Amino acid sequence: MEKQQAKYRKILDLIEKMIAEGVLKPGDRVPSLRSLSFDLGVSVNTVREAYWELESRQIIEAIPQSGYFVRQSLPGNAEESEQFFSPDPCEVSLCQVYANFQEQGMPEAGTNLGISTLDENLRPRQKLSKYFQEIFREQDSGTFNYSMAPGLQELRDQIARYALQGGAEVSPREVVITSGCSEAVFLALRSICEPGDIVAIESPVYFNFLQLLQELGLKIIEIPSTADRGMSIEALRFAFDRFDIKAVFTIPNFNNPLGATIPDEDKQALVELINRQKSFLIEDDIYADLHSDRHRPRSCKSWDTEGRVLLCSSFSKTVEPGTRIGWVLGGQMLKRIIKLKTLINIGTSTPTQKAFARFLKEGGYDRHLRKIRSLITDNRKNMRDAVLASFPEGTTVSNPAGGLVLWVTLPGEMDTMDLYYSALEKGIIIAPGSLFTCSEKYSNAFRVNAGIWNSEVEQTIAILGRLAAKKAKSIA
């Protein structure tokens, strides 16, 4: 063991020395795992671990299917780099802008680009209203009675059928209806974890989720994710080797905030890892229906054979968020989730469950999706083009194949927290990168809603672009 430690240190020292002496320059490819393993007579695993450590110190970076490279900008100080891949799980602490961000509420549509929402004009308001009016006109006595957890049978049947579209064969018995996806994730987390437990999360991660983890007294370990492949399964494996991880959280399809989709082979590997480690996967699959390609991406749940994947979702991103309908496929935690839901609010609104059951059963949901998919694809494209046209040169924008959000990265040293405050003065809200982590990352990135595109949004992006350009000049 000590011998291995020594070898590990030797690799770290070697690479750092090569960089310090200019043998390896920023952007250079570092020796492959296999070649260094051969050269130094150490196992590939030891080299991999050393590279991981270097990656966590922001000295090198992995580029998928290419290998490891020296980073373009090396970290300024050791303290900062320590936090990139926090070596120890930490309690959740949130950046100052959080409270501020939460309190801004929802100004008029179009100026709040910090949310993730579908254009109201693309929502099936009329159709849905029709079903609700029908339910209330009928005045069936059941409509006004409790539909206790797990929820109304007719809606659970529909959700089970619907899960099949993501490749998951589940029984209606596994479905628990919730008041939105947040409640589903809350129930899933609370059913699995005790305060102090460790949860591995993709990073950057949806900020409300960080706050929920904090509230539940859980420790987190942030797993690096990329816009093209989502959460790194390699990194997760690395974390599992070191820590007792109770649950893993990911939005596997068109995720928030990167827009990333985990490739099928990685999803399968993820579920296998979860099973091997006897951990749990909480999968938030809320964006999956908003795909530009012909087929909906598969859910991780579709590979679940042991009930260790808890799929959470809702209609808040695809239909509307206001009536609060979501669900969780409870897996091994089903009984516990039903009990928790019963204790917290007994059940979700009965007429709402009835209306959504009909909307699904009569094909309204599928028709609606077919109608809006290409429009959302256009919105994303328009938003992406506008950002690239308005923002300073060197700005990059993620290019997801679905979903509602784009991840914008500004060049150089630009701080999006500055941009956030300047935009706020003009009544514009963006979601700065710092919101999506507990460490010091993503300070030059922000998330923008691409679910709405109109002339007002177009003008707002132009204003934001000018603000960013001004800041870029002041730095240069």
Residues forming contacts to a second copy in the complex (CB under 8 A) are 102, 105-106, 120, 123, 125-126, 128-129, 132-133, 136-137, 139, 141-148, 178-180, 182-183, 186, 195, 208, 211-212, 215, 320-324, 339-340, 342-352
Instruction: Check if the beta carbon of residue 431 is closer than 8 Å to that of residue 207.
Output: yes
Residue with tokens 């870029």: 472
d(CA 200, CA 86): 11
Kindly state the smallest distance separating residue 158's Cβ from a second copy, in Å. 19
Kindly state the smallest distance separating residue 287's Cβ from a second copy, in Å. 17
Kindly state the smallest distance separating residue 79's Cβ from a second copy, in Å. 30
Torsion over CA: 440, 441, 445, 451 (sign) = negative
Cis omega before residue 150 (within 30°)?
yes
Q: Which is nearer to a second copy, 70 or 187 (CB)?
A: 187
Q: Which is nearer to a second copy, 119 or 202 (CB)?
A: 119
Q: Which is nearer to a second copy, 180 or 392 (CB)?
A: 180
Kindly state the smallest distance separating residue 254's Cβ from a second copy, in Å. 20
Kindly state the smallest distance separating residue 139's Cβ from a second copy, in Å. 5
Q: How many residues does the chain have?
A: 476
Kindly state the smallest distance separating residue 152's Cβ from a second copy, in Å. 10
Q: Which is nearer to a second copy, 297 or 347 (CB)?
A: 347
Those residues whose C-beta lies under 8 Å from the C-beta of residue 173, and which sit 6 or more positions away, are 150, 156, 334
Q: Which is nearer to a second copy, 151 or 259 (CB)?
A: 151
Instruction: Check if the beta carbon of residue 86 is closer than 8 Å to that of residue 219.
Output: no
Q: Which is nearer to a second copy, 141 or 305 (CB)?
A: 141
Cβ count near 128 (within 10 Å): 21
Kindly state the smallest distance separating residue 369's Cβ from a second copy, in Å. 17
Q: Which is nearer to a second copy, 43 or 129 (CB)?
A: 129
Those residues whose C-beta lies under 8 Å from the C-beta of residue 89, and which sit 6 or more positions away, are 198, 219, 220, 221, 243
Instruction: Check if the beta carbon of residue 262 is closer than 8 Å to that of residue 288.
Output: no
Q: Which is nearer to a second copy, 99 or 476 (CB)?
A: 99
- CA-based radius of gyration for the chain: 23
Kindly state the smallest distance separating residue 185's Cβ from a second copy, in Å. 10
Q: In the Cβ-directed half-sphere of 147, how many Cα atoms lie within 13 Å?
A: 22
Those residues whose C-beta lies under 8 Å from the C-beta of residue 179, and which sit 6 or more positions away, are 324, 325, 326, 345, 348, 349
Residue with tokens 């256009």: 378
Kindly state the smallest distance separating residue 341's Cβ from a second copy, in Å. 10
Q: Which is nearer to a second copy, 135 or 397 (CB)?
A: 135
d(CA 315, CA 452): 17
**Which runs of consecutive H residues, i.e. helices, occur in 21-112?**
33-40, 44-56, 78-82, 97-103
